[in-house]
Amino acid sequence: MNTLEKGKCFKWQMSSVVDKVRRGVAKTIQAASEGEAFDTLPDCDILGISNRFTIKILPSDELKPSASRFTPVHLVVKAKKGNRQIVYNCEMIAAQGVVVKTLQGNTVMEIRLPDNSQNSMGKILHPAGSTLYKVEQVKCQSFSQRYVISKFGEPFLNVVNTPVTQIFGSFSSILRYFYLINADQALEFFNLSNEKIGFLRPSYFSTAKSLIINYSDQTAVQERATMLGASILFLIVAVRPEYGIMLQNTLH
């Protein structure tokens, strides 16, 4: 490792330490206020303008991301109907995670990889640094993977991860052959009453690196925001695992 690489590694490590201290302070403040200060994600009302949004990875002039070299990854969240406006900008930051911001630059949430947990996919943080939601895998005997999104330790939403081949059968191979599908799995979201309130699927008939998130009319704003955060987490862990590995290597 040359001097420049050592310097970058030290910078990431220091950034990680400072960030952990910041989160610890935020959690202390949250405990002192009995959890009332940071119990919802801010600036989420805009998710009510549409029931369909695209999560798209923007092209980059940087080198292709790899496990040995961190490359910033930028995404946008865009409405699928109407004027198809961009509602959020996202950036994957070394030693941190994916930060979601409004067009005005206000942080909405931060998506993090798990600290040390085999069953956890990751977590969603309030801009102040406190953990609001955790996404954890539930053991089950089926071809589908199941997850629970918990809020302050209590179940909030249930998620089912289903392989695309189970949805489209052999037709999924045909779609992939013609570059019309860009992921192998899809998510379904359920509330605690077991009502389906939305789903995440690959972008069909498009070569763009994007996913489509669909909400039901009854999905509340905070549920929409939580589902969006979980979808971005799923994107960097399962759909584009090289991004998650690249990020993980900056957290040590």
Burial of 199 (0-12, 13-18, 19+ CB in 10 A): buried
pLDDT at residue number 38? 81
Q: Which domain holds residue 177?
A: 3-248
pLDDT at residue number 67? 58
Query: What domain count does the chain have?
Result: 1
pLDDT average per 10 residues of sequence, the chain (252 residues) = 52 54 52 60 97 91 66 94 91 96 98 88 96 92 84 96 59 44 74 96 68 96 98 91 91 80
pLDDT at residue number 22? 58
CB 211 within 8 A of CB 202: yes
pLDDT at residue number 84? 87
Could you give the CA distance from residue 125 to residue 32 in angstroms, rounded to a whole number? 18
pLDDT at residue number 76? 97
Q: What b/e sequence results for 108-129 when a residue is b if at least 16 CB atoms lie within 10 Å of its CB, and e otherwise?
A: bbbbbbbeeeeeebbbbbbbbb
pLDDT at residue number 124? 98
| DSSP, residue by residue, 192-238 | TT--EEEEEEE-TT--SSEEEEEE-TT--HHHHHHHHHHHHHHIIII
Could you give the CA distance from residue 69 to residue 5 in angstroms, rounded to a whole number? 9
For 178-221, the pLDDT digits (tens) are 344 445 678 999 999 999 999 998 876 554 578 999 999 999 99
CB 117 within 8 A of CB 110: no
Q: What is the CATH number of the domain that holds 142?
A: 3.20.90
pLDDT at residue number 64? 64
